[in-house]
Structure 1
Amino acid sequence: MSGLLKKVNWMTLVVPLVSVFLGLLCGALIMLAGGYNPLLAYGSIIQSIFLQPYYAGETIRAMIPLVLAGLAVAFAFRTGLFNIGVEGQLMAGWLASVACAIELDGLPRIILLPLSIIAGAVVGGLWGYLPGLLKARFKVHEVISTIMMNYISLYATAYIIKNFLYTEGERTPTIPASASLASNFLANITQGSRLHWGFIVAIIGVILMWLILWKTTMGYELRSVGFSPDASKYAGMNVGRNIILSMAISGAFAGLAGAMEGLGTYQYMTINSAFTGIGFNGIAVALLGMNTPVGVVLAAALFAGLQTGGLTMQSVAGVPVELIQIVIALIIFFIGSSYVIKWALLRFSGRGRN
């Protein structure tokens, strides 16, 4: 029995690493087929991230919403739910934080900045609360309801901006400086990158997820309901309430991701005709990170590094920027094929012992 448990733990750690390796390997083969040098391409990514302060800062900046979006998906996964609505919750939180900052301009920074961040989390939580309510009371599957909520958020945010917060450039006005997470200090040490203080919020989010799920009675109930709703109900737990609470907390993490974009990276919100993609990438980050707080951070670092460092591939190795999206898609594909990878690794390890 102990040998089986060790094998399962070993597989849990190895499968994501194998998925990343296979994704990078397939990407290298595609580069070779196109006449490009994959070693030069991947080398340029590593060199830019670790040796050029600007790209290092941009990588950390790109990690911030990815970490929070990944936490949103991972939190729901850990409680037995599949939150596909992180994208919509992120956009709702983004608009809420920007609107709060603009409408309450004049308040001191010590009040306005935390209030704007909280506004993003609250509205994101409300956007997650609704699918949770539908799941708990009417047995509506959260995958369907959250997908629909994504589109409601996309068009609702565009409508609100156009009719209530519109300014030239198809966007909201710029938020006041008292609500901004931008930092001249961080920009100077990273040679002009858009790195902002939101990375502190991401770190707090990682700690909060760990504390809530593994150090509180509430977290124990949430995980128990996710593992077995019937057994949890028999034990006296309120299954419906825990489903709603889980989706609300997951949505709050997503709303924070949006707030970081609105208060940190962009300082405003545009009228979007398409999704940002951050929420959907959060699903891949959570899967690659094994739905653990530390794993989410590492997976977000990989994705952010590929996206940011990929910009140097074209100038250094002549590789089209779009190819990095293919590599990311391949990693996601292999993560989704984890069952096949586990089967192959188990057969290989079994033969090795024989």
Structure 2
Amino acid sequence: MSPAPETIVPEPEEGQPKVRDLRSWLPTIRDTVVAILLALLVGAFLIAISDDDVIEALDNLFTYPGSFGVYAGDVLRYSAEAVLEAYAALVDGAVGSGSSLRRTLERSAPLICAGLGVTIAFRAGLFNIGATGQMLVGALAAGYVGFTYDLPPGVHLLAAIGAGLVASMLWGGIVGVLKAQTGAHEVITTIMLNQVARFTVLYFLAKESFQRPGSDNLLSPAVADNATYPSVFGLHIGIPLALLAAVGVWWLLERSRLGFEMRAVGANPDASRTAGMSIAKVYIATMTIAGLLSGLAITMTLLGLQQSVTDQVVGSVGFDAITVALLGRATPLGTVLAGLLFGALSAGGLGMQTSAGVPPELIQVVQALIVLFVAAPALIRGLGRIRRRQKTATEAKGATA
């Protein structure tokens, strides 16, 4: 059978592709911005109704209905003061000073790397919920090399990073092999492997070689100074390394053959198999790379902040990475921006708690609302259509009057 003749597509005019690409991004940018604003609006309502002065004013409002105007004004004034104070503390805690900005970047770096691991799985049609387990295993390996051996500067850091990356890659690769060879669903296997990783860490932390001298707690020694990321202008170099990882993921997805196969399999595995692509190879490679990125994420915490290995060293980063990838629309650039946003919310939440007395759980509510609105673009667009219809109806009435 002779191959089908190529279809000759005329070259677009100069500058036209960029304009088209920008226009294709505009709805996504608009929906994301609206989702964030709606989440902050709902958060403002929650801040207001949890403020003591507002609660007292509301009590007076319903107790003395004869003075409705006075107490209604108090409710609005106290609500505005509480919301402005809380959000001012949020901004100040996130970017208000050099130390605040450093804290934001330090919290954003692992979120970006782990989020990239979830993003690359999304693009291949996989749902990686195993970032927590991959990070725990990576922390165990990197931490052991970091506090056990006495190596020269530079070599020690590279050895610790390499150990963490290899362990996380292997842990992620297990999921890919199970998916490719047995058809086991990656959601189930990653959730189970998260628990396996946690109890594996607890097992090793109970061993004398992993315990801090003079302590019976399940806590390892801190990594040696030679195994920590060096700092430049007060920031450890793991932070720019996270941005380089995002560039690498972009190149992999958009410019490499493996990335093309990942995107093809994610779009239609049956058609990709018919085209001669190895679905098993794509699944194994995808989850291995996702594990590598998760391992890089834990080095930002363990080696960047010189922490000890515990079963809680990952914190909520593993699951927050799913949120970051969703908010970033499974794109490298979007994941970086979402990671910075959530890092700012995490760092600013401390300021809200200490300066404005806002419960720390409220920041988690705001984060969840952002994802809720982003995951429901039809709701955002529906609100936009309602506003446009109302505007059109108003203009029509004005024209007929």
Pairwise same-fold verdict (TM > 0.5): yes
Of 175, 190, 193 in structure 2, the residue corresponding to residue 131 of structure 1 is 175
Of 212, 216, 219 in structure 2, the residue corresponding to residue 171 of structure 1 is 219
CA gap of 1:271–1:251, structure 2 versus 1, over 3 A, is closer
Alignment correspondent of 1:82 = 127
Q: Which runs of 5+ in 2 are unaligned?
A: 1-16, 52-78, 394-401
Alignment correspondent of 1:190 = none
Q: How does 1:255-270 map to 2 (within 5 A)?
A: 255-270=295-310
User: Post-superposition shift, 1:342?
Assistant: 3.6
Alignment correspondent of 2:92 = 47
Q: Which digits, 9 at most, give the CA deviation of each residue in 1:44-67, with x for residues without a partner?
A: 221333331111111110011111
Report the AA paired with residue 233 of structure 1. Answer: R
The answer as to whether partners of 2:92 and 2:351 remain within 8 angstroms in 1 is: no
The answer as to whether partners of 1:85 and 1:146 remain within 8 angstroms in 2 is: yes
The answer as to whether partners of 2:202 and 2:218 remain within 8 angstroms in 1 is: no
Does residue 1:324 correspond to 2:363, yes or no? yes
C-alpha distance in 1 between matches for 2:289 and 2:259? 11
Q: How does 1:188-203 map to 2 (within 5 A)?
A: 195-203=235-243
Q: Which digits, 9 at most, give the CA deviation of each residue in 1:239-290, with x for residues without a partner?
A: 1111111011011101111122111124321244x96210100011111111
User: Post-superposition shift, 1:351?
Assistant: 7.3
Q: How does 1:162-311 map to 2 (within 5 A)?
A: 162-163=206-207, 164-167=209-212, 168=215, 169-181=217-229, 183=231, 186-187=233-234, 195-272=235-312, 276-311=315-350
- RMSD of Structure 2 on Structure 1 (CA): 2.4
C-alpha distance in 2 between matches for 1:250 and 1:261? 18
Question: Greater CA radius of gyration, 1 or 2?
Answer: 2
The answer as to whether partners of 2:95 and 2:344 remain within 8 angstroms in 1 is: no
Q: Which digits, 9 at most, give the CA deviation of each residue in 1:187-232, with x for residues without a partner?
A: 4xxxxxxx42210221221111011111111111111111111111
User: Post-superposition shift, 1:339?
Assistant: 3.5
C-alpha distance in 1 between matches for 2:206 and 2:311? 7
The share of aligned pairs that are identical, in percent, is: 36
Report the AA paired with residue 335 of structure 1. Answer: V
User: Post-superposition shift, 1:322?
Assistant: 2.4
C-alpha distance in 2 between matches for 1:19 and 1:159? 43
The answer as to whether partners of 2:179 and 2:283 remain within 8 angstroms in 1 is: yes
Of 306, 314, 334 in structure 1, the residue corresponding to residue 373 of structure 2 is 334
Report the AA paired with residue 28 of structure 2. Answer: T
The answer as to whether partners of 1:180 and 1:267 remain within 8 angstroms in 2 is: no
Of 145, 150, 157 in structure 1, the residue corresponding to residue 189 of structure 2 is 145
C-alpha distance in 1 between matches for 2:93 and 2:251? 35
Secondary structure of the 1:264 match is: coil
Q: How does 1:15-26 map to 2 (within 5 A)?
A: 15-26=31-42
Secondary structure of the 2:134 match is: helix
Q: Which digits, 9 at most, give the CA deviation of each residue in 1:140-187, with x for residues without a partner?
A: 11111111111111111111122241122431112111111153x544
C-alpha distance in 1 between matches for 2:135 and 2:378? 30
Does residue 1:65 correspond to 2:105, yes or no? no
Alignment correspondent of 1:34 = 50
C-alpha distance in 2 between matches for 1:140 and 1:119? 27
Ranges of 4+ aligned residues in structure 1 off by more than 3 Å: 4-10, 342-354
User: Post-superposition shift, 1:43?
Assistant: 1.3
CA gap of 1:293–1:353, structure 2 versus 1, over 3 A, is farther
Report the AA paired with residue 155 of structure 1. Answer: F
The answer as to whether partners of 1:88 and 1:151 remain within 8 angstroms in 2 is: yes
The answer as to whether partners of 2:94 and 2:345 remain within 8 angstroms in 1 is: no
C-alpha distance in 1 between matches for 2:176 and 2:193? 12
Alignment correspondent of 1:192 = none
Q: Which runs of 5+ in 1 are unaligned?
A: 188-194
The answer as to whether partners of 2:92 and 2:100 remain within 8 angstroms in 1 is: no
The answer as to whether partners of 2:201 and 2:310 remain within 8 angstroms in 1 is: no
The answer as to whether partners of 1:131 and 1:142 remain within 8 angstroms in 2 is: yes
The answer as to whether partners of 2:324 and 2:339 remain within 8 angstroms in 1 is: yes
Of 81, 94, 111 in structure 1, the residue corresponding to residue 155 of structure 2 is 111
**Count of aligned positions:** 342
C-alpha distance in 2 between matches for 1:350 and 1:108? 68
CA gap of 1:347–1:135, structure 2 versus 1, over 3 A, is farther
Alignment correspondent of 2:146 = 101
The answer as to whether partners of 2:93 and 2:352 remain within 8 angstroms in 1 is: no
User: Post-superposition shift, 1:99?
Assistant: 1.2
CA gap of 1:51–1:347, structure 2 versus 1, over 3 A, is closer
**TM-score, normalization by structure 1:** 0.89
Q: Which digits, 9 at most, give the CA deviation of each residue in 1:109-159, with x for residues without a partner?
A: 222212211221221111111111111111111111111111111111111
Secondary structure of the 1:310 match is: helix
Name whichever of 247-256 and 105-114 sits farther off.
105-114
The answer as to whether partners of 2:205 and 2:219 remain within 8 angstroms in 1 is: yes
Name whichever of 111-120 and 56-65 sits farther off.
111-120
